[in-house]
Structure 1
Amino acid sequence: MKPILFLLAFTPLTSLLAQQKDSLSSPATVLDKVTVTGKKPFLEQKADKLIVNIEGSATAAGATAFEILQKIPGVLVINEKLMVAGKGVPVIMIDGKVSQYTDIMQVLREMSATGIEKIELITNPGAKYDATGGAIINFILKHNANLGTNGSLNLNAATGIYNRATTHTDRNFYRHGEGITINHREGRFNIYTSYNFLHRNQFDYNEFDRLINSYRFFQSNYSPGYYNSHTYRAGIDFYANRKNTIGIMIRGFSRNGLNEAQNNTRQSDGVTDQPLSNFQTFNYTRAQRTNTAVNGNWKHSFDSLGNELNIDLDYSEYTFKNTSDIVNQLSNGVKYPSRQIIHNPVYLLVFKTDYTRPIGQHSKLEVGIKSGRAIINNDLGFTQNGVPDKSRSTDFKYLENINAAYASLQHTFNKWELRGGLRTEQTIATGNMQGQLILDKNYWQLFPSFLVTRKLSIQLSALVQYSKRVNRPGYLQQNPFIQYLDSLTYSKGNPLLKPEIADEYKFSLAYKNQPFFSISYNKKRDVIFDNAPNQVGNLTYTTPENLASYTNVVAELDFPIELGKKITGYGGNQAIYNHYHANYLGATYDRAKWNWLAYWQVAYKPTPAWSFEFSGYYTTALLNEFILINHMGSVNLAVQKFLWDKKAKVSLNFNDLLFSEKTSGEVIYEEVNVHFHQWNETRNIRLTLNYTFGNQKLKGARTRQTASDEETQRVKVQ
């Protein structure tokens, strides 16, 4: 099982950001046979987004997309759960659209960063974007320029470096990946395809020390496992004429793996620590995930001034199946076997159209509509000693329609830029369990937003933003079935969840188009505590609940690092304030805490062919819902060498050199008293070879936004 579940789903922080920085070479511009090559800064601050240019970064080589996210300013990783400081869980997009992959956290762990050109962090999205989520993280994949055929090959391998005695492991954990990308454009057609394979061995180790009444339960859980994953993308763009472009794209994901967890539980007297009993739980889980998505797109340009219409249609299927064989073994050797099978197919159909019309030279109007339908089937079968247990088996079917319309107006004059928008969304949802209707919702919501930018000087600009956002419950969060995690812990969903509503404000200053200073204020109501703890006898279970109001303040200060022409980089820090107020279990939870986060990245380039990068972060103790997480940090080192006239590059990375991305903390509230420690294979060494071939000036596939949005984002598979 995942560590998030073994932590009573108390979601400890496993790692927490920093950033990366490197200068990238932008596409060459040819003027009368003279090539002018510019450099992109690692960070670019635009009016509504922060752009992180990772292409060419030594630290990114051989990394996964998930590992790169851990190095973006303000992005937190709380045990497989991404958080943007003050914004909650972000929406993940790929090439301007919410990922077709439903188990997005696992997909990001398996997506190679080699194919990513840059990442956009949009903290206050406007009316054009779906209202769900507090922020948007958009991965822009690499695309090339001009006619011809080109491609790239990528090979990478990594291994962990651990003391087996102190980490309680029994083997080395390694991974290797291979990938290829090919693009061909001729005449009116552009064809592109990519494929990536990853084999990964991994582990999680957790310790929990619980006080329940007058007893103490100490649990250790070691979960080694492996998986093989395949990702692919293929598409064709047809440029019918200067005004019309038609595209079809298919992308998919397939993963299978095995996890072997061993849980040891020792019960003792809570005062004297005298041993009373002990038992073991063995959990062998075979997991299969598949995702196939098809997109059709038509773009029509009415003129050359930007008056255009985009229409998208998406269909995707996602299948998740887990088979867990669980054996509880008492100290006398008696075994109690059980089996848990989860089958979760998801079907999504989304239509979207957007229209953009310039108004004069200084204004622009954007309007659009969207409609999406989701069909979710959740089947849980449970057997005890080979006999079906209907009391623990469930069949939950969920149907949802989200309809939306928006309008946005942008106007610039003198040194000002103004943007305002309004979005309305209708949510229709029903849920049936065992043939009985247990969920029935139908409501409309309005989401205003505005942005004001003022140029204070040639190099300095100021920005004020506001947006209203919503965080709808995930599909499985509303599924009331019970999932057993170990002999003392289980979780279940809540069909009565309401959406979170947030009001988000931000003031920022940018210097030379770089982030410099910002302060944000965020207020949420009906906050969903994803893992609200409950104690029933010796059993602990968690369930999502609308429990609290949440107030967050973030003050950020960033600065460049420049020492001569060969040493560049940046540093930054954030002061973060979190305050939760909730009435739960007959008592009031009212807790607030400040934490300080520092991050840095420095690049040294002694020659054009060599580069060295040093990055890291440190955070003081922080508060996340009921969890108080202790301080932690990480330092990383990377070396990169270009070969063969820069057609190839070799990178060597050392991640988490001090093995300090270990999580520890506590949950203490009413009858719940838990202390925990958790770590996994964060320390590793990676070797990567990337080779490009063909015409590197080929015009690649269009970067376009397709119809699917938050529907896929909200399928949270455990």
Structure 2
Amino acid sequence: MFRSLFFLIAFFSALSSQGQFQLSGKVTGQEFKTLPFVTVKISGPQNKIFYTQTDSTGTYQFKLLPGKYSVVFSAINFESMSQIFTLTKDTLIHIRLKGNQHHLADVQVSAKKALIEKKIDRAVFNVENSISAIGNDALELLSKVPGVRVLNDKVSLVGKGLANVMINDKLVPLSADELSNYLKSISSENIARIEVITNPPARYDAQGNNGLINIILKKTTSEGFKGSVNLAATQASYFTASAGGNLNYRKNKITLSSNFNIRKGSIVPFEQSNVFYPEQTWNIINKDRNFRTVPSGQIGMDYQVSKKTLLGLSYNGGLTNFHSEENIKTKIYNQNNGLDSVLNSDANAKIKSHYHSANIYLKQSLDSTGKQLTINGDWFTYRDDKDRFFNNTSYFQNGITIPNSFAEYLSTSKQNIGLYTLKADVDLPYKTFKLSFGTKLGFIKNQSDLAFYKARNEGYEINPQQSNLFSYKENTQALYVNLNKTIKKWDFQAGLRGEYTQIDGISVNDRNKDNYLLLFPTFYVIYHANDKNTFYVNYGRRINRPAYRKLNPFRWYSNPFSYAEGNPFLKPSYNDNIELSYTYNIYTASLSFSKTTNGFNDVNFIDASTNIQAIKPVNFITAYHYQWNNTITFNAVKGWESINQLDVFYTASNSGIAQTLSSLNGFGAYFSTLNQFVFNQSKTILGEANFWYQLPSVDGLNQNKSQYNLDLGIKTLLLHKKIQLAITASDVFKTNRYRYNSLVNNIRQEYNNYYDSRQLRITFRYNFGNEKIKQPDRKPGNEEERKRSN
């Protein structure tokens, strides 16, 4: 491995026949205060011109060939300064700009970034430049990001699996349903960019084997009001309506922000499975219509205590009122494919849940060079109350009811999750390197009260063998350090994170108590061969702690023969990830490898003697994943921008339990094309056409079948672009079906699921107020544990 790395480094170094030197420096104002976003223009030999801007610390840098150059520094409200120099070695030029006596009253400067940007540790999708940002919510927008998939409202990375989602560097602390509801409450118009971080740096929690998706909301600066109202009507199998709005206000040292959204409607997911027992085949069809009413809101305040101190408070809360009407029909066939009997289950579930989240943070500037301390305190609580009533009736093949087969049941669950975290980060930029370090304390408590009843006479009688009190505690202490360094054409970033965790889970007479200390190194290298060719190498180690619901031993029955339950003794899994990437102008290619140890997944354990199907998560997977990714962006004709991606991957999975296949491996491939159109010169009539196709692939010990999806949209901007009107169609051909098969106890299982994803949506949005408001940069600090309420 070391020989290979040495060869790569030597190869990259040989690509440039001439040495380059670094020109760098810092730009300050009259009070020696650092000035960000100062334009730096370099004019050199053969009339070559280079541009850059100073970063948040006022620093800039170029890599240039030896020669004579002129440099010009310019910024709004400052006098421009120029200097001529001859570059023969690494050179520092520090500049102090003078204020311009003739200030401009109001200037707005905008520059269009590339739709996709590749950085040292992430890929960035600049939403502000995407037509997909009009008329969508955050969840729908994620499905338009290259490399990201949304299936049944669950977010994953192509070829890698489920990914954790963050908002402004903070993991969203909600279950799968609550997370999708929350993302649907965020208008894509409020999103600045989406960062896909396949190998997160040490600053982030080590939680999540498959990486992170970070949604960065738009920022603000100017004083005054700004707000919007939005309405949406969606037609799937049934109708759903949503409404909401946001309002921001800034005056002097105070910035206020708020939003509120409500969604009400229903969808009809469809699930079908076939289980091939030795002497029978069970065909199970689950038709479900579920209804949701989901209000949510957020309010925040920032107070600029002094030039160096910013204090912030925020609250975020929401509730879900859910109920469903289900019919589960199981047809049982004999070996001659003749109908033996039918089991019918009618059910309805009621779920009420709510969450509350509060954050307080302090950002303290330590000096004028960008050194700062950030402290975050977070509190989060989540509660739900679930009741599921269901009955079962069995019929002979001729439709006559089997005597004494009717029975009624009730299963209940109450869950209470509390999370408290305290986090501190220190950033220390120096002239030759950048250092950051920090710590985090997390305290989690999860309690569940589970019960199962059978109807007798006019009441319900509890079954003590299927009822349980479950208590789980988890405390984590973490430290990290991260270092960035640039040496000529090379950029380096290295980090180390240590996490010490103590857990204590109690379920009836079972207790799972453990503590462990783990280290998570990360390493990144970039080699800039020239202006067009860039090479990347990175490595990282991750942990995937189970979601709390997977630790809960509660049994959720579909019928007397089928139930799902958690596993209080489920352990974390671990991933080692290596990635090599290459970028040439509009083309990016990457080759990655990951190894998963102690991987866990849900397994449908089937007993042929009793026909009982028990779905339970267990640790049993060791997997190796290889992936080759290709992305190309081009403008074929004026008004048409296209992003195209092709992934080819190979997965080899080995099982540690006897009930499943001992191993399963195979290739898979994924293709997507994201196309944006501008139909008129004023750029007020827009369109999009997006398509993806997933070839058959291996997921753990499941074999997934192919699926594909087409989305279309037309959008218009009215009243000086204050009004946005969009009509979009998702899954036009109703082909986004999740189909797979598996083998457990030598019994084959086939699944065909569709989650009502073909939808027609009409969206209206009206923006009002000061268009230049920009929210202060803040990164509140709840981390990995909150996501695991899923």
* Fold match (TM-score > 0.5): yes
Q: Which amino acid aligns with 2:485?
A: H
Determine helix, strand or coil for the equivalent of 1:563: coil
| 2:405 is the counterpart of 1:341 | no
Distance apart, 1:67 and its partner CA:
2.6
Task: Name the structure 2 match of 1:305.
Answer: 369
| 1:387 equivalent in alignment to 2:480 | no
| 1:616 correspondence with 2:677 | no
* Partners of 1:58 and 1:651 within 8 A in 2: no
The aligned counterpart of 2:139 is 66
Answering whether residue 599 of structure 2 is matched by residue 535 of structure 1, we say no
Change (3 A) 1:609 1:325: same
Q: Work out the CA distance in 2 between the residues paired with 1:444 and 1:277.
A: 55
- Matched with 2:12 is none
Query: What is the deviation of 1:81?
Result: 4.0
- Please report how far the alpha carbon of residue 109 of structure 1 lies from its aligned counterpart in structure 2 after TM superposition: 5.8
Deviations 1:246-288 (A, max 9, x none): 000000121111111100111120x211111112111100111
Shift of 1:306: 1.4
Aligned to 2:114: 41
Identity of aligned residues (%): 24
Aligned match of 1:496: 569
Flag the 1:546–1:78 CA change in 2: closer, same or farther, 3 A.
Answer: farther
Q: Secondary structure at the match of 2:514?
A: strand
Shift in alpha-carbon separation, 1:482–1:505, aligned structure 2, 3 A: same
Cα displacement (A) at 1:569: 1.5
Partners of 1:505 and 1:96 lie apart in 2 by 23
**2:754 matches 1:679:** yes
Residue type of the partner of 1:297? Y
The letter of the residue matching 1:194 is: N
| CA distance in 2: counterparts of 1:604 and 1:110, whole angstroms | 25
Alignment RMSD = 1.9
Note if contact 1:643-1:649 (Cα within 8 Å) is conserved in structure 2: yes
For the 8 Å contact 2:526–2:535, the answer to whether it is kept is yes
- The 5 A counterparts of 1:234-253 are 234-253=299-318
- Residue in structure 1 matched with residue 723 of structure 2 by the alignment: 648
Aligned pair partner of 1:141 in 217, 224, 232: 217
Contact 2:573 2:600 in 1 (8 A): yes
Whether 2:262 is the aligned partner of 1:190: answer no
Higher relative contact order (CA 8 A, sep 6+): 1
Letter in 2 for 1:538: N
Find the partner of 1:522 among 582, 587, 594.
Answer: 594
Match 2:357 to one of 293, 309, 328: 293
**Cα contact 2:116–2:124 (8 A) shared by 1:** yes
Distance 1:422 1:573, change over 3 A: same
Task: Give per-residue Cα distances to partners, 1:471-529, cap 9 Å, x unaligned.
Answer: 112222222332223332112222222211111000112334x5611111001111112
CA contact (8 A) 1:44 1:515 kept: no
Q: Find the partner of 2:441 among 359, 371, 377.
A: 371
Does residue 1:457 correspond to 2:527, yes or no? no
Secondary structure, aligned partner of 1:139: strand
Distance 1:694 1:80 in 2: 33
Query: How many Å separate the matches in 1 of 2:587 and 2:255?
Result: 37
The residue correspondences of 1:8-47 to structure 2 (distance < 5 A) are: 32=104, 35-47=108-120
SS for the counterpart of 2:779 is: coil
Q: TM-score, normalised by structure 1?
A: 0.90
Which moves more between the two structures, 563-572 or 614-623?
563-572
- Per the alignment, residue 503 of structure 2 pairs with 429
Q: How many Å apart are 1:668 and its aligned residue?
A: 2.4
CA distance in 2, matches of 1:586, 1:619: 29
Q: Partner residue of 1:413?
A: 487
Residue 421 of structure 2 is matched in structure 1 by 350
Which of 594, 602, 610 is the equivalent residue of 2:667?
Answer: 594
Q: Secondary structure at the match of 2:676?
A: strand
| 1:475-486 matched pairs, under 5 angstroms | 475-486=548-559
Q: CA deviation at 1:629?
A: 1.5
What residue identity is the alignment partner of 1:409? L
> Match of 1:425, as an amino acid?
E
Counterparts of 1:649-664 in structure 2, within 5 Å, are 649-664=724-739
Q: Does 1:470 align with 2:546?
A: no
**What is the distance in 1 between the residues matched to 2:483 and 2:657?**
43
Kept after mapping to 1: 8 A contact 2:231/2:244 = yes
Work out which of the two has the higher radius of gyration on C-alpha atoms and give 1 or 2.
2
Deviation string, structure 1 residues 663-708 (Cα, Å, up to 9, x no partner): 22222243331112111221111111111101111232x3422221
**Corresponding residue number in structure 1 for 2:778:** 704
Answer yes or no: is the 8 Å Cα contact 1:623–1:629 preserved in 2: yes
Aligned partners of 2:363, 2:714: CA distance in 1, in Å? 43
What stretches of structure 2 of length at least 5 have no aligned partner? 1-74, 78-103, 396-400
1:605-651 CA-partner distances (Å, limit 9, x unpaired) = 12111111111100111111222111110111111111001111111
User: Does structure 1 conserve the Cα–Cα contact (< 8 Å) formed by 2:134 and 2:724?
Assistant: no
What does residue range 76-225 of structure 1 map to in structure 2 within 5 Å? Answer: 76-77=149-150, 79-85=152-158, 87-103=160-176, 104-108=178-182, 110-114=184-188, 115-134=190-209, 135-160=211-236, 172-225=237-290
2:350 aligned with 1:275:
no
Equivalents in 2 of 1:683, 1:30: separation in Å? Answer: 49
- Which residue of 319, 324, 335 maps to 2:388? 324
For the residues of structure 1 that align with 2:742 and 2:175, how far apart are their CA atoms? 30
Give the whole-Å Cα distance in 2 for the aligned partners of 1:319 and 1:49. 34
Note if contact 1:101-1:107 (Cα within 8 Å) is conserved in structure 2: no
Asked if 1:667 is matched to 2:742, the reply is yes
Q: Quote the offset at 1:322 in angstroms.
A: 1.2
Q: Provide the rounded CA distance (Å) in 2 between the counterparts of 1:647 and 1:703.
A: 25
Specify the SS of the correspondent of 1:712.
helix
Is 82-91 or 332-341 further displaced after alignment? 82-91
